[in-house]
Amino acid sequence: MIYLDCNATTPLDPEVADLVDHVSRNVPGNVSSIQHGIGNAAAKVAEQARTQVAGALEVSPNSVVWTSGASEGLHLGIVGLVGSSPAHKRTIVISATEHSAALNSAEFCRRLLGANIRVVPPRTDGRPDVTSISDALDETVSAVVCMHVNNETGVISPIEEISEVCRARAVPLVCDVTQSVGKLDVSSVLRASDIAVFSGHKFYGPKGVGVLVADSSVRRRMAPALAGGGHGAGLRGGTVNTPGVAGLGLATELAVSRLVATQEHCEALLDQLFAALEARLGKVEVVGGDAPRVANTLNLRFQGADADAVMANSPGVAVSTGSACNSADPEPSHVLLAMGFGSDAASECIRFSVGLPTTPDDVDRAAAQIGEAVDRVRRLTAA
């Protein structure tokens, strides 16, 4: 199987796997049990991981809150801000192209907290429109939610510009940087965001562990969305996953140290893939056009060929039609629909996302199989 679905998840880095295994076997304590040596040993592992994440991303260690992943982080951030706001100030401004985890957290706030939701459509290239976001702000808004890199298209949002309009109105910005860490320098984006979230398994770290980044002034404004024993700066109850956070700390360090090499590797592979597909199929449409895009992601429309049919006819290639979280949903991608694609056109798009383990030979073989599958589907459709 040729794996070109790294935006869904990445394989665990061997060095990270060794550390997770070592901590699992040798550090059995609870990080909160600091009254004795076994608990202290676990606490030291977690604090080392916190220091690694903070140092790699240029944030304060005190701003790092462990989570189970970006979905939980988005829920904690959005619900935390809205839940602590008075009833007349519970409006959420959110980009229409957000991950379903963010959109569903906003919907949770609407149903349980009486929040209003203002969904801001993107430009046709998928980038959030800064002017539209600015126009949606008023005294009732308690949070703006906008991701940095779109998980389906790879398009990069102008977070620093969005932050300027939010801060001019004293509205906190929640930013999902899950598809950014290890692919882009996110330090300026983290400074521009009041809350940022990501998951370790998107950059060769463990599954089931992530980070919410927010300084103490923001955290004090947030209602705890997950009650518990006061863990996670009071925002997130539950015992810390010591092996997981240890692995995440190392994975973050490695991802940032390999950033330039990763970008160059992935960009060359996708250039190769696109050239091979165009050579076989003729003009292929890039979703997002010329918008700035992260180096590892390419979403392509194969006109006249249903994407699910193409994938069924190329079983040796692992790609996707959108977010892994929505892979069982038969409906077209909400991201592509928001960008102006009709249902039929949105159903002709396939996301390719490569990573460090991907090789040029993988790309050549994938292009041959996908190209053959597109030709076959088009012939069957035209018959």
| CA distances from residue 92 to 155, 161, 192, 269 in whole angstroms, order as listed | 22, 18, 18, 39
- Whether the predicted pLDDT of 334 surpasses 70: yes
Instruction: Please determine, for residue 112, whether its predicted confidence score (pLDDT) is greater than 90.
Output: yes
**Six-digit token string for 343:** 């249902």
From-to residues of CATH 3.40.640.10 in the chain: 14-257
Mean pLDDT of the region 223-245: 80
- CB–CB of 152/288 below 8 Å? no
Please give the mean pLDDT across all residues of the chain.
95
Q: Answer whether residue 354 shows pLDDT above 60.
A: yes
Closest CA to 192 of 160, 240, 224, 231: 160
Element (H, E) at 73: helix 70-83
Identify the CA nearest to 74 among candidates 109, 120, 118, 47: 109
* 177 to 77, 95, 99, 202, 296: CA distances (angstroms): 13, 14, 11, 10, 15
At 363 the three-state DSSP class reads helix
Residue 84 structure tokens: 């602590």
C-alpha distances in angstroms, 318 versus 28, 39, 82, 233, 350? 37, 42, 39, 39, 11
pLDDT higher than threshold 70 for residue 324? no
Catalytic residues: 325
- Chain-centroid distance of CA 383 in Å reads 40
pLDDT in tens, 25-36: 999 999 989 899
- Mean pLDDT on 200-229: 91
Closest CA to 270 of 306, 295, 237: 295
Q: Judge contact between 186 and 180, C-beta under 8 A.
A: yes
Using the predicted structure, report yes or no on whether residue 328 has a pLDDT greater than 70. no
What is the structure's pLDDT at 230?
57
The predicted structure's pLDDT at residue 136: 98
pLDDT at 238: 85
pLDDT digits (tens, 9 = 90+) for 361-370: 999 999 999 9
Q: Which residues, at least 6 apart from 330, have a Cβ–Cβ distance to it below 8 Å?
A: none
Q: Is 239 left (phi over 0), alpha (psi -120 to 50) or beta?
A: beta
Say what the pLDDT of residue 227 is: 72
**Which residues, in sequence order, are CB contacts of 59 under 8 Å at separation 6+?**
53, 187, 190, 213
Instruction: Say how many C-beta atoms besides its own lie within 10 A of residue 134's C-beta.
Output: 18
| pLDDT value at residue 237 | 77
Token pair, residue 103, equals: 């959109």
The confidence band for 235, taking pLDDT boundaries of 50, 70 and 90, is confident
Q: How confident is the model at residue 228 (pLDDT cuts 50, 70, 90)?
A: low
Residue span(s) of the chain under CATH 3.90.1150.10 come to 2-8+259-376
pLDDT band at 249 (very low <50, low <70, confident <90, very high): very high
- pLDDT tens figures, 250-260: 999 999 999 99
Could you read off the pLDDT of 56-66 as tens digits, one per residue? 999 999 999 99
Q: Which of 11, 12, 49, 10 is nearest to 27 (CA)?
A: 49
Residue pair 338/122 in contact (Cβ under 8 Å)? The answer is: yes
Selection from 236-245, 317-326, 362-371 with the highest mean pLDDT? 362-371
Number of other CB atoms surrounding residue 368 within 10 Å: 16
- Where b means 16+ CB within 10 Å and e means fewer, 294-304 reads bbbbbbbbbee
pLDDT of 327 over the 60 cut: no
| Mean pLDDT across 271-283 | 97
User: Which fold does the domain 2-8+259-376 belong to in CATH?
Assistant: Aspartate Aminotransferase, domain 1 (3.90.1150)
pLDDT the model gives residue 231: 59
**14-257 — its CATH code?**
3.40.640.10
90-111 tens-digit pLDDT? 999 999 999 999 999 999 999 9
- How many Å apart are CA 229 and CA 223, to the nearest integer? 14
Q: What is the pLDDT of residue 54?
A: 98
* 91-95 and 116-120 beta bridge pairing: parallel
Nearest in space to 127 (alpha carbons), one of 243, 294, 249: 294
